[in-house]
Amino acid sequence: MTEELDAVSAVLKKKLGIDLGCYQQGETQYLLTEKLRDLAKEFPGQYQNLLRAEETEINLFLDWFTNNTSFFFRDPLVFANLEYRFLPMLIKRVEKNNRGDLRIWSAGCGLGEEIYSVAILLDKILPDEQKKNWNLSLFATDINSRNLELAQKGEYPVERLEHVPLGRLQKYFIKNNKEEIYTLSKKICEKVTFSYHDLTSAKHLTPSEAVFGSFDLIFCSNILLYFSNETRKVVLNRLQDALVPGGLLVLGSSEHLYWNPGSLIPVENGLKIFQRST
Ligand SMILES: C[S@@+](CC[C@H](N)C(=O)[O-])C[C@H]1O[C@@H](n2cnc3c(N)ncnc32)[C@H](O)[C@@H]1O
């Protein structure tokens, strides 16, 4: 199985640019071994050839490997804190500095639920004048390009909306008549720029569309837990550098700051939000 594993890893690196070495070895190897074992029954001894040749199979593999489970307002406590404490704080700081822009990045955005949740909150709390005059830069990136395309469409099964209060559901979503699919309003979808960005890539610190870092708020939730310790360090260093002083980093509820690059401070015990101090 090790040989097959190496062969598949090499194909993934070449075809998709994914470096399995950046992920938790034990977990990744276990998952891959299980997957290969299943597939060996279906395509004995030739799965890596299939990966080499078939785009469909590679895409299926990518979908399986990049778990995109997410929900709107996934962690209600985090989003309540953002709505009532931290977004108003960031908005005030932008006003004070006369910057005229607010920059937010969802790294490893899956199908976009996280960045769209923030866009909905901003639609509610940003005063009309700022809405008109400010440059709102909302970036969302991932390594699964097909999911990025889907995210842009803003169509979601009802299960992903279970934390959306009824008022917001009625205001921002339209229910498809036949299926349990909800479409997010165009006004919100249009605010977000989706693009490919590999957090482990040595080439780009932040999404190239963002031109430069200087983010007020970065989400990197439910991704670091899949990375190796070495990769976590590299990524956390970069994320800290991509924040403006006073900017915030949000991790997933089951994650922690695996490594402190120096100036990330928890805003409150138990809440996975960290502020760049300098
Ligand atoms: C579980 S989802 C998290 C979605 C969202 N951040 C949340 O917390 O609800 C993990 C996402 O990380 C993405 N991902 C995995 N490896 C990545 C990498 N090297 N660079 C960027 N995104 C990555 C996956 O494609 C997947 O969409």
What is the predicted pLDDT for the residue at 168?
Answer: 97
Residue of minimum CA distance from atom 14 in ligand 1? 108
Each residue of 186-214: b (16+ CB within 10 Å) or e?
eebbebbbbebbbbbeeeebbbeebeebb
Contact 18, 51 (CB under 8 A): no
Lowest mean pLDDT among 93-97, 147-151, 206-210: 206-210
Q: What pLDDT score does 92 carry? A: 94
Among 223, 226, 236, 272, residue to substitute to test ligand 1 (most atoms within 8 Å of Cβ): 223
d(CA 171, CA 158): 15
Relative to the CA of 110, which ligand 1 atom is closest?
27
Residue corresponding to tokens 């040749």: 53
Reported as a single tens digit per residue, the pLDDT across 77-123 is 999 999 999 999 999 999 998 888 999 999 999 999 999 999 999 99
Please calculate the CA angle 84-85-88 and round it to the nearest 5 degrees: 85
Pairing between strand 215-219 and 243-250? parallel
- 3-class secondary structure, 246: strand
Pairwise CA distance, residues 7 & 13, whole Å: 10
Judged against a pLDDT cut of 70, whether residue 144 lies above it is answered with: yes
Using CA atoms, how far apart are residues 232 and 226, in angstroms rounded to an integer?
A: 9
Ligand 1 centre from 199 Cα, in Å? 9
* pLDDT for residue 12: 79
Q: Is the pLDDT of residue 260 over 70?
A: yes
For residue 240, give the 3-state DSSP assignment: helix
For ligand 1, whether the C-beta of 108 sits within 6 Å is yes
Q: In what order do the strands lie in the sheet with 181-184?
A: 155-157, 181-184, 173-175
How many angstroms does the Cα of residue 130 sit away from the middle of ligand 1? 31
Position 254 scores a pLDDT of: 94
In this structure, of 102-106, 168-172, 201-205, the range with the lowest mean pLDDT score is 201-205
% residues pLDDT > 70 (the chain): 90
Q: What is the spatial distance between Cα 188 and Cα 118, in angstroms, rounded to a whole number?
A: 10
With a cut of 80, say whether residue 213 has pLDDT above it: no
Q: How far does the centroid of ligand 1 lie from the alpha carbon of residue 234, in Å? A: 16
H or E stretch at 211: none
More confident residue, 63 or 231: 231
CA angle at residue 26 from 23 to 30, to 5 degrees? 105
**For position 42, what pLDDT does the model report?**
65
Task: Give the model's pLDDT for residue 40.
Answer: 66
Lowest mean pLDDT segment, chosen from 65-69, 145-149, 188-192 = 65-69
Question: What digits encode the pLDDT tens for the residues 21-55?
Answer: 898 888 777 777 777 777 666 665 666 666 666 77
Query: Which atom of ligand 1 is found nearest the CA of 144?
Result: 25
What is the 8-class DSSP label of residue 20? G
Bridge partner residues of 85 (DSSP)? none
Which residues are CB-contacts of 96 (< 8 A; sequence separation ≥ 6)?
none
pLDDT at 115: 98
